[in-house]
Amino acid sequence: MNRYFGNARLVLPGEQQPVEGSLLVEGDRITTINTGADDRSDGAIDCQGRLLAPGIVDLGVFAIDKPAFRFGGITRAALMPDQAPILDLPAMIKHNAVDGKPDLWSHPIAAATKGLEGQQLAEIGLMQRSGAKAVATGRRWIADSGIMLRLLQYCKSLDLPLIVHSEDAGLTGDAVATNGETATRLGLASATAAAESLSIARDIALVRETGAHVHFRQVTTTDGLELIRAAKSEDLPVSCGITPAHLLLSDIAISDFRTFARLSPPLRNEANRLACIEAVRDGTIDVISSGHDPRGPEDKRLPFAEAAPGMAGAETLLALSLTLVRDGIIPIGRLFELLSTNPAKILGVEAGSLTPGYEADFILIDEDAPWRVDARKMAAAAGNTPFDGLPVQGRVTAIYKGGRAY
């Protein structure tokens, strides 16, 4: 069945601003992009002049949460291996790959080591054959450099990207905040921000040795970003991501022991936050993801040091990221490279771009629609957002998977 989408403002690859036009879908693939005059035919879907953008590819969620994803315009989600049970067996990859279909595609990420314990490599090759398109260390950093070297060699031979968590556990220990004035004032156990840059430096040295692609899931410090820049200047196969929380919030957000602002890695000081903004502007950061990790009252309504880190980020990902466009930091085309195109490239899927031949996964957006984040009314499994009460703009009005509305 063919479907025609007309009267749209298309977010196209290589274009930094929307382009008026239309597109044709045949089956579940985009076949034709028309720009300029709208040659709309009978039965066309009228996009009413709204943004028609690639569906968001959320790289690294901790739960498949379809209502939240639908609200936020997420058509594909890469599921981190930190599940119960951990995704360290081919059967677990197969099981989670069908979760959410047909209106959402889940891409389960294979655990790098058995039980994510950092001691013994998992059956990565078998998990790749079962559908895994990436490997991850989960919420942990692999301390043993020998194991990390063998892991990277294995991933290189299989042409699989490795997604890593960047915090040297020997430095972070039981810390729940970043060293600084806020942590000192609150009396919280804290760790140096250098825990991030030290872990990145080690892993970049091993990338230089092996040539494997490493994606640093969240880079949140000035020093860490400088290391990524230097590695890219060498043409090393590295990429990095961040969440809106680390772009828009500093560690002041944990004042009054607000557990909804307890994240991993923890929020940094204002200087580091501004460095992250600049890294989005200059292209150092490749991906913006939600870090979606819904946590109920049993995990969050606890003393700060006992609360679980994480936030429900899927519903607010687009609206918060659009702030970067309104503030003139990046254009809309660059934003969807960060949200859709680059994550899809890392996963090796033909999605995340309005390109003929690609999967017809796209969203209609009213970028000016105002709404207020309300933790009590969120569609997510739990509303643990540090942005509760924040007025935002930008809302998905329709979501299409394979060209079909859901």
Mean pLDDT for 299-318 is 96
Mean pLDDT for 197-212 is 98
Answer whether the bond into residue 237 is a cis peptide, omega within 30°.
no
Residue 36 has pLDDT above 80, yes or no: no
Q: Is 343 exposed, middle or buried (0-12, 13-18, 19+ CB in 10 A)?
A: buried
184 in any annotated domain: yes
Query: Quick one: angle between helices 145-158 and 194-210, nearest 10?
Result: 50
Mean pLDDT for 138-163 is 97
Q: Which residue has the tokens 């961040």?
A: 242
Domain span including residue 269: 56-352+369-391
Alpha carbons 345 and 349: distance in angstroms, whole number: 6
21 in any annotated domain: no
146 in any annotated domain: yes
Residue 41 has pLDDT above 70, yes or no: no
pLDDT in tens, 165-177: 999 999 999 999 9
Other CB atoms within a 10 A radius of the CB of residue 156 amount to 16
Alpha carbons 207 and 209: distance in angstroms, whole number: 5
pLDDT in the model for residue 317: 98
Other CB atoms within a 10 A radius of the CB of residue 19 amount to 16
7 in any annotated domain: no
Alpha carbons 8 and 33: distance in angstroms, whole number: 11
3-class SS of residue 2: strand
Q: Phi/psi zone of residue 262: left (φ > 0), alpha (ψ -120 to 50 degrees), beta?
A: beta
pLDDT in the model for residue 385: 97
pLDDT in tens, 64-103: 999 999 999 999 999 999 999 999 999 999 999 887 788 8
22 in any annotated domain: no
For the chain, the average pLDDT equals 95
374 in any annotated domain: yes
CATH of the domain at 290: 3.20.20.140
- Band of the pLDDT at 43, cuts 50, 70, 90? low
Tokens of 21: 């036009």
Residue 38 has pLDDT above 90, yes or no: no
363 in any annotated domain: no
Alpha carbons 290 and 268: distance in angstroms, whole number: 17
- Please state the domain count of the chain: 1
pLDDT in the model for residue 35: 86
pLDDT in the model for residue 99: 79
Q: How far apart are the first and last CA of the chain?
A: 16
pLDDT in tens, 366-398: 999 999 999 999 999 999 999 999 999 999 999
3-class SS of residue 295: coil
b or e along 120-155 (b: 16 or more beta carbons within 10 Å of the residue's beta carbon)?
ebbbbeebbebbbbbbbbbbbbbeeeebbbebbebb
pLDDT in tens, 4-20: 999 999 999 999 999 99
Report the amino acid identity of residue 71: F
pLDDT in tens, 103-131: 889 999 999 999 999 999 999 999 999 99
Report the amino acid identity of residue 39: D
Alpha carbons 220 and 269: distance in angstroms, whole number: 10
9 in any annotated domain: no
Tokens of 142: 């692999």
pLDDT in the model for residue 179: 97
Alpha carbons 293 and 31: distance in angstroms, whole number: 36
pLDDT in the model for residue 40: 55
- Helix runs in 26-161, H state only: 66-72, 90-97, 124-129, 145-158
Report the amino acid identity of residue 147: I
Residue 57 has pLDDT above 60, yes or no: yes
